[in-house]
Amino acid sequence: MVAHGGLLGTFLGLGYILNQDLNFFIYGIILIGGITAFARLKLKAHSQFQVYLGYLLGVLFMLNLFVFKFWT
């Protein structure tokens, strides 16, 4: 889930930095991440906490990387 969150954070950061409308890609990433999260929870491969935390960490890490890299 960290990878899906990281991909989402990357596209959010790129959209912000480049001032482009990347909503189509962002919605697709969220949809694919949701399907993957559902599968992991259904198979009991991870707990809800692990899935949500992994997704959140991925988004925050990549978004911060883009924002701090391009603000300085």
Average pLDDT, the chain: 92
The DSSP-derived string for 32-47 is: HHHHHHHHHHHTTSS-
Segment 17-46 mean pLDDT: 95
Query: Which residues constitute the domain of residue 49?
Result: 2-71
Q: What is the pTM assigned to this prediction? A: 0.89
Is 62 in contact with 11 (CB distance < 8 Å)? no
**Residue 72, pLDDT score:** 60
Domains in the chain: how many in total? 1
The total number of residues shown for the chain amounts to 72
